[in-house]
Structure 1
Amino acid sequence: MRRDRYRWLKKNFISPSTDFSRQDVTNGVQSLCGPLEYFHKFVTEDMIKAVADNTNQYSVQKKGSSIHTNTKEIEQMIGMYLKMGLVQMPGIRMYWEADTRYSPISDVMSRNRVQSLLASLHFVNNLTMAEKEQNADKLWKLRPWLHAFREKCLKVVPKEHNSVDEMMIPFRGKFSSIKQYMRGQPNPWGFKYKLPLKSCRWYLYIFWHTIILAVINAWLLYKRDCNALHIPKQQVLNRRLFEAQLASSLLLIGTGVSVPKRGRPSSSPVSLRGSTLTSHNRLFTDEGSPAAKMPKKSNAHPPKEVRKDMIGHFPIKADRVRCINCAKGYTNMLCKKCNVRLCFSEQNNCFWDYHN
C-alpha cells in the first residue's frame, strides 16, 4: 500500500486571508417565501427530474420494464420520508397496517409502490460509466446529485462568522474499509464523506442525508429572512413546524383528493383513514364508551402553495362550524383537500376567496 511521505519544516506561520466581502446576506428580501420555495433553493425540480429519469432507466436495465415514475412521485416520496421522521414508528410497514395506519402517508402511495421506487432509485446511468471511472471515484453512483447539491449550497451568501465541524452519516453496514466508531457521539457508527465505499445500496443513506441537510439549510434561510423583516419571534416557525409544512407541500401540491380503492373494506374495527392534513389530530373513542370532550379546534391553515395550486379542492358537506376565512358566518361546507370550513353561498363565497 502506497503511503504519502511528508517532511516538516520549521518556518513562520502565515495566516490565510480572512477578509469578509460583507455582501448583503438577505439580498434585499421584501417578503417571506413558503417552506417549499426555500427547499427548492437546494433541491431543485431539475435535480428531482434527473432522479426520476435515471430511476426509470435503471428499472428497464434491471427488470426489462420501466417503473414509470415522475418528478411529482419522487417529491411525494421525499415528503413521506419527512413525515415519517416527524411521526416515527418501530417499523416502516406499520404506516400501512390496519391497526396503526397513518393516513397522511398511507393514502399518498401504497407500500408496494414505495418499496419498488426505493429498489430502483438511481442517480446516474450505470452503462455510461466505464470501469476505470468507477474505480477512480467511489461515489460515482451519487456524484451527479452531490455535484448539483453542492452548487446550490455555494450560491447561498454566507454570514461573516461560521462554525465548521464534521458529521457522521449513521450506518452500521458491514464494510471493513469504512466502518468507524466514535465514542461519545450521538451516532457512533457510520462513515464519513470521501471514504472508499463498497456496497449495493450505500448511496441511499447519503442521499437521505442530503435531503435532511437541505431541510435544515432551508429553515436557516427562512429564519434569516424573518430576522431581516423583523418578524416577531412568536410568528417564526420552528424547525418541526417548518418541516411539517414542507412535507405537506411536497405531498399535496399538484395532486387531487385520493379516491378509495375498490374491493372488500378492511376487517379491522379501527380506521385511521381521514383527511390528508389533520387526520392524526382527531380523537378516536371506543364504541361502547362515551366520547371524550373535544378540544378547541385550531385554525390550522394548509401551506400557501397547497391552498393556491387549484387542483383537487372539492367542497363536501360536514358539520356546521364557523368559517375560517371570514370568521363571522357559519358554514357546513368543507374543502376536502385543505380540511377547512369555508362559506359557499350566493351572499358570501369564501371558498373562492380562500383559494385565490
Structure 2
Amino acid sequence: MSKTGKPILKTVPLDEAEDTLDPSSSLVPKKDTRRIWKDEDIEEFQVPDASFETPDALQSPFQYFKMLFTDEMIDHIAYHTNLYSAQELGDTIKTNFLAILLFMGVFNFPSLEDYWQHESRFSVIADIIPKKRFQLLRWFIHFSDNQQCNESQDRFKKIRPLFDMLCEQCLQIPSTNKHSVDEVMVAYKGTRAGNLRQYIANKPDEWGFKVFCRANSSGIIYDLLLYQGPSTFFNVTLSEEDQGFLLCSVTTIFTSFKLVQHLDTSLGVKCIGTVRPNRTGGATLMTDKELMKRGRGAFDYRSAEGVIAVKWFDNKCVNLLSNASGIMPLSTVKRWSKESKAKVMIPCPSLIPAYNELMGGIDLSDMLVHLYKTPAKSTRWYLPLFGYMLDLSIANSWLVYKRECGQLNQKPITLKRFRLAVAHSLKQVNKPASKVGRPSSNVRYDCFGHWPLHCDKRGRCNYCPKGVSRWKCQKCNVFLCLNASQECFAVYHQKI
C-alpha cells in the first residue's frame, strides 16, 4: 500500500521475465571449452517456396471472417453471456453486437453513447439495437463459466476458452515455410489485471498484455501465446500444424545458441535471430569499440557446429546467431551519413536482409490491427483481449483474401471495406427478409412505364393464385404471368 492508502500496481520487470529463459546475467559470453569457434562462414539454407491450391473463385468477406471467427465461437460467447446474466439476452449477441463493434472500429466517436445521442446519432449503428440493449450486452458479455474459473489456476481463465478456439482456427490457415516469432502488446492501462500488465518501451502500446505471436512475412498470424510470467510455457506442446515450417526468425528475447541447435536437431527448423552477447555460446567476437573504429558496415563473425555468430555495426552494434544464412554473398544498403550529409552505401552480411524480411510480418499485422481498432475501454481487464481477437480475425481473414486475390489476378478491396462488409453481413444474419409490398393504386394503374422484365429465377404470380412466372413488372416489382394462355400482366394493370 502507498502512503495515500491506494494499492500499488506491481508488474513483472521485462528484463527479469526474459532472463527466465537464461539465468546468466553477465553480458560477457562464457567460453565453452568443448566448442571450437572458427573464422568460417556457413552455407546458406535454401528454403523452397510454399505453393497454395488456387481457389475456383473468391468467397465473400463474411465467409473469410467465419473461417477464423467461427459460429462455434459466437455460440460460445452467447451461451456464457446468457449464463452469466440474470435474464435471457437471446441471440442478439451472436451477430448484432459483433457488427456494432466492427462498425465502431471504423467510425470512431469520442464516447460510445455518442452513436445514439440525438445531436450526433449515427444511424448505421443506432438502428441496429437501442443504446440500453447494447450497454446491457457489453456489461454482461462473458467467455467462460465463473464456477469453473474459480477452480482453474490459469491467470487468463476469463478469456482462455475463446482464445484457444481462435488459435486452433489460425493453425488451419495454409502456411508458408518462413515464419517469425515476436511479441505484441494489447493495450491496457487499468489496474485490475495485476502483474499480467506489462511494460515494453518503443511499442505502439507500451502498457498492456504481452502476446507472443508467430507469423509469416505477409503478416498472417498462425499462432498466439499469452504471457503470464513463469507459468507461460507450462503444458505448452507443439502440434503438427506448429511444425509445418522450415525457417524461423526470432528476437533477442528467445535467441540462444542452445535454442538454435534444438530447433534444428529436434524439429528440423533453421533459425536466424538477434541475440544478447551472453547467449552466443561462447563466441569471442570483437568488442563494440573495436568494431566501431572500423566504421559503419564493419562486421565480425565466428562459427561452430553449423551455427554462425555475427556482430555488425550499423547505427549501433547488433549481434545475431544463425544456422540458415551467413556472411556471403555480401550486399550493400543505403544509410544517411552525417559527415558527408548524403546517403552512402555500406556492406551488409547476407543474414541481415534475411532476418529483416522475416521479422516484418509481426509489425505488419500489428499495424493492420491498429488501423481500425475495436473500442475496448472497460473496467474488466479481459475485454481489450477480446477486442484484439476480433480485430486480428479481421486482419488475418483479409490477408488470406488478399493472397487468394493475387492467385486469381483480381484486385482486392481495402481492409476498411472488408471490415464494413463483414459488419453488414453480421447485421443481416437471421434477419427476416423484407416482403415486397403491393404497389399503390396510383402506380399500378397509371399506364406508364410498366415494362415486362425477364428474371433468371421464377416467382409466384401476384394476380392468379397458382401461377408461376419468370416475368415481373419493372415498375411495380411484382411477378405476373405473361404467356399465350395467361395474360395476368395485362389484366393486372387494367382498372376494372
* TM > 0.5: yes
| Paired letter, 2:81 | T
| Paired letter, 2:78 | A
1:230 aligns with 2:409: yes
Q: Tell me by how many angstroms 1:165 deviates.
A: 3.4
Q: What is aligned with 1:124?
A: 144
* Aligned pairs, number: 261
Residue 431 (structure 2) aligned to one of 252, 255, 274: 255
Cα distance per residue 1:193-230 (max 9 Å; x no partner): 33449x97211110110000000001001101100111
Structure 1 residues 126-141: aligned runs within 5 Å: 126-131=146-151, 133=152, 136-141=153-158
5+ residue gaps, structure 2: 1-11, 25-29, 212-225, 230-377, 441-450, 454-469, 480-496
- The answer to whether the 8 Å contact 1:23/1:157 transfers is no
Q: 1:187 to 1:130 in 2, by over 3 A?
A: closer
Q: What is aligned with 2:93?
A: 73
- The answer to whether the 8 Å contact 1:76/1:250 transfers is yes
Q: Which has the larger radius of gyration?
A: 2
| Paired letter, 1:29 | P
Q: What is aligned with 1:185?
A: 203
Q: 1:19 to 1:90 in 2, by over 3 A?
A: same
Q: Tell me by how many angstroms 1:94 deviates.
A: 0.5
Q: What is aligned with 2:107?
A: 87
| Paired letter, 2:397 | A
Q: What is aligned with 1:305?
A: none
Higher strand share: 2
Inter-partner Cα distance in structure 2 for 1:139 and 1:206 = 10
Q: What is aligned with 2:169?
A: 152
What secondary structure is seen at the aligned counterpart in 1 of 2:55?
Answer: coil
Cα distance per residue 1:288-331 (max 9 Å; x no partner): xxxxxxxxxxxxxxxxxxxxxxx22646989xxxxxxxxxx8x9
Identical-residue share of aligned pairs (%): 27
Q: Tell me by how many angstroms 1:143 deviates.
A: 1.2
Q: What is aligned with 1:112?
A: 132
Q: Tell me by how many angstroms 1:246 deviates.
A: 0.9
Q: Tell me by how many angstroms 1:76 deviates.
A: 1.4
1:218 aligns with 2:397: yes
What secondary structure is seen at the aligned counterpart in 1 of 2:189?
Answer: coil
Inter-partner Cα distance in structure 1 for 2:157 and 2:141 = 15
| Paired letter, 1:215 | I
Q: 1:24 to 1:345 in 2, by over 3 A?
A: same
| Paired letter, 2:122 | Y
| Paired letter, 1:217 | N
Inter-partner Cα distance in structure 2 for 1:98 and 1:30 = 47
Structure 1 residues 261-340: aligned runs within 5 Å: 311-312=433-434, 314=436
Q: Tell me by how many angstroms 1:253 deviates.
A: 2.8
Q: What is aligned with 1:239?
A: 415
Residue 209 (structure 1) aligned to one of 388, 412, 416: 388
Q: Tell me by how many angstroms 1:186 deviates.
A: 2.5
Q: Tell me by how many angstroms 1:124 deviates.
A: 1.2
Q: 1:106 to 1:347 in 2, by over 3 A?
A: closer
- The answer to whether the 8 Å contact 2:76/2:143 transfers is yes
Q: Tell me by how many angstroms 1:34 deviates.
A: 0.4
Q: 1:104 to 1:128 in 2, by over 3 A?
A: same
Cα distance per residue 1:70-127 (max 9 Å; x no partner): 2x53321111111111111111100001111111111111111111111111111111
- The answer to whether the 8 Å contact 2:197/2:210 transfers is no
